[in-house]
Amino acid sequence: MAEDANPFESLQSQIDEAATHIDVADDVIERLKYPERVLETNLTVELDDGTLERFKAFRSQFNGDRGPYKGGIRYHPQVSRDEVKALSGWMTYKTAIVDIPLGGGKGGIVIDPDNYSESELERVTRTFATELRPLIGEDRDVPAPDVNTGQREMNWIKDTYETLENTTEPGVITGKNLASGGSEGRVEATGRSTVLAAREAFDYLDKDLEGATVAVQGYGNAGWIAAKLIDEMGATVVAASDSSGGIYNPDGFDPVAAKDHKNETGSIVGYEESEEEITNEDVLTMDVDLLIPAALENAIDADLAEAVEADVISEAANGPLTPAADEVLEGKDVFVIPDILANAGGVTVSYFEWVQNRDRFYWSEEKVNEELEGHIVNAFDALVETYEEHNLDNPRTAAYVVAIQRVANSFEESGSWP
Ligand code: GLU
């Protein structure tokens, strides 16, 4: 990881930057820079050997002006209060830019899941779900997967909540597997929005996606699906990395076979179609048409940004550029599709899952993908309209202008009470 920008400060500076271009009062902007509340809790969990361990955990409910708080729960040793607060803010503006009736939230547990057995992880998850129980609910706060969590954890949380509440409420959480009330297309949704947004950007910039070269940093759920889908659209994935290192082939490689290799060996490194082993930094600074950062925050700082050679960046990760990096890239005319749009597919299909759960009526994968495409294309069009109308230099600022305006409108229209 590059320079350690505080992600909460990054969020606030992004809001401040956008605020200079909109007609929203300063006191309302002030409200939109802080979470409404943050739960900090200590989970005491019995390990397999009978000893107890304490895990710190958080849930930040940033803003509920447009609907129930919405956002994932991550398991990572570097989870912190400020990180969770920032991520919950990004969720608020993400749900607003894609115009779904939800607010923003985020949670996390300070844990490296690789060091624990499945039954230990189940106890950690159920203990957290018990702590969250009074705060969550399909009309209150709806968690979802994030870094190092997936269907398994979501199913545990749903089961814990429903058991304690003596009810059936699948919409209390999204990202479940199909048997537990999940949606078709949810697993692929984040990567799908990253490439749909890239397709729209290429079109806008009059660039050809067919034959375009692509580098993908991070080969988890978002990164590898983005690699697969962009390859299907005719682009050529030439480089990718995961936490162990990177692979490179100037003629491109098969992203699905690279993923199979990772499933078998734990990493994409060593994949036979790779001509050269490269570093994570090499991937981020490669001379490609499209760069997809799909790992954690702060992957690119100002120094690294000087070396970036991509023409377009589609942010599959949350917060991969520091604000200083953003400024450098703006100066170099790199078109950055911001995270709040580029990775919004995950929460958009979470919204569809929630709708299906409430209706007890389930959609085909085709319908999910079609609806998702509509939301991403509309969001991109709104971004471009604002980008041009305000003569902005940075697409991220345009996205925040649209999103902040929408959240502020909801707040202002509801009046003051008491
Ligand atoms: N964790 C994902 C995100 O950062 C998905 C959140 C959700 O589906 O609520 O957008």
Query: Which ligand 1 atom sits nearest the alpha carbon of residue 90?
Result: 4
* pLDDT on residue 417: 75
| 159-195 residue pLDDT tens | 999 999 999 999 999 999 999 999 999 999 999 999 9
Tell me the C-alpha distance between 264 and 254, whole Å.
Answer: 16
The angle at the Cα of 351, spanning 349 to 352, to the nearest 5 degrees, equals: 60
| 45-59 residue pLDDT tens | 999 999 999 999 999
User: Please, what sign has the CA dihedral across residues 408, 31, 316, 208?
Assistant: positive
CATH of 189-342, one of 2.40.30.10, 3.30.450.80, 3.40.50.720, 3.20.20.70: 3.40.50.720
Mean pLDDT over 37-49 rounds to 98
Label residue 1 by pLDDT band (50, 70, 90): very low
Asked if 340 contacts 394 with a C-beta cutoff of 8 angstroms, the reply is no
The angle at the Cα of 388, spanning 387 to 392, to the nearest 5 degrees, equals: 50
Supply 244's token pair: 């162990």
Asked if residue 2 has pLDDT above 90, the reply is no
Find out whether the beta carbon of 146 lies less than 6 Å from any atom of ligand 1: yes
Would you kindly state where each structural domain of the chain is located, as residue ranges?
36-180, 189-342
* pLDDT on residue 52: 98
**How does the average pLDDT of the chain come out, rounded?**
96
Q: Which of 62, 146, 172 has the most ligand 1 atoms within 8 A of CB, as the residue to mutate?
A: 146
* pLDDT on residue 248: 97
Tell me the C-alpha distance between 289 and 306, whole Å.
Answer: 16
Asked if 180 contacts 340 with a C-beta cutoff of 8 angstroms, the reply is no
* Active-site option among 85, 106, 259, 262: 106
Q: How far is the CA of 56 from the centre of ligand 1 (A)?
A: 21
Same topology for domains 36-180 and 189-342, yes or no? yes
Q: Does domain 36-180 have CATH number 3.40.50.10860?
A: yes
Clarify whether 106 is annotated catalytic: yes
Asked if residue 383 has pLDDT above 80, the reply is yes
Q: How far is the CA of 145 from the centre of ligand 1 (A)?
A: 6
Q: b vs e for 223-232, b when ≥16 Cβ sit within 10 Å of the residue's Cβ? A: bbbbbbbbbe
| 197-235 residue pLDDT tens | 999 999 999 999 999 999 999 999 999 999 999 999 999
Q: Cα 181 from chain centroid?
A: 22
